[in-house]
C-alpha cells in the first residue's frame, strides 16, 4: 500500500532522478501546433490577406520554428519566409483561449481572430466567442503562462 509519506518521498526524488539521469527528460510539446503540418496545413497569410483560411500545399512549404508550414502559393510562402513572426499565430497556433487558461488545445481553421496585427487561433467557435469577450485580458493571461505550458 502506498502511504502519503511514500508518495511524497517519490515526488521529492523526481528532481534528483533528472539530475543524475539527464537523458530522462519530461516530454515537451512542440512550440508549434502540428497535425502533422503546422496549423492543420492552413496558409496563415490567407487570414491576413483574404480574411479567411486558405488550404496550404506541400508544393509551397517553409520550415520554421521546428515545423513545416504550407502555403497556397509561392508568393505567400515567400512572404512568410521573409517575416514569419508577423504571420505566424501567437501561442504557436495552439488555442489562444486555452493558453489564457494555462493549458494547450488543438485548433480548427474556422476559429480565428486578428487583433492588433497578430493572428490568434481557437479550438472551436465556442472558444473563439469566449476569447473575444476579453481579448486583451486573455492575451495577457496567455503570455503569462506561455511557454511554460509546453511542458
Parse the chain into domains and list their residue ranges: 34-83, 89-151
CA distance 143 to 91: 8
pLDDT band at 35 (very low <50, low <70, confident <90, very high): confident
Supply the Cα-derived Rg of the chain in whole angstroms.
19
Reported as a single tens digit per residue, the pLDDT across 66-125 is: 999 999 999 999 999 999 999 999 999 999 999 999 999 999 999 999 999 999 999 999
What is the number of H-type helices and E-type strands within the chain?
7, 6
Reported as a single tens digit per residue, the pLDDT across 3-26 is: 444 443 444 444 443 434 444 345
CA distance 150 to 65: 14
Instruction: Report DSSP state, residue 2.
Output: -
Instruction: Report DSSP state, residue 31.
Output: S
Find residue 34's DSSP bridge partners.
Answer: 38
Amino acid at each position: 500500500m502506498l502511504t502519503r509519506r511514500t508518495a511524497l518521498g517519490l515526488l521529492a526524488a523526481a528532481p534528483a532522478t533528472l539530475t543524475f539521469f539527464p537523458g530522462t527528460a519530461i516530454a515537451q510539446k512542440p512550440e508549434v501546433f502540428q497535425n502533422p503540418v503546422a496549423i492543420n496545413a492552413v496558409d496563415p497569410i490567407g487570414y491576413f490577406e483574404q480574411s479567411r483560411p486558405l488550404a496550404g500545399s506541400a508544393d509551397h512549404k517553409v520550415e520554421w520554428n521546428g515545423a513545416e508550414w504550407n502555403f497556397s502559393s509561392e508568393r505567400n510562402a515567400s512572404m512568410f519566409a521573409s517575416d514569419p513572426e508577423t504571420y505566424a499565430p501567437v501561442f504557436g497556433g495552439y488555442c489562444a483561449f486555452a493558453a489564457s487558461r494555462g493549458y494547450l488545445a488543438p485548433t480548427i481553421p474556422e476559429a480565428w481572430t486578428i487583433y492588433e496585427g497578430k493572428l490568434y487561433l481557437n479550438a472551436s467557435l465556442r472558444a473563439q466567442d469566449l476569447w473575444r469577450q476579453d481579448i486583451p485580458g486573455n492575451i495577457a493571461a496567455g503570455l503569462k503562462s506561455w511557454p511554460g505550458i509546453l511542458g
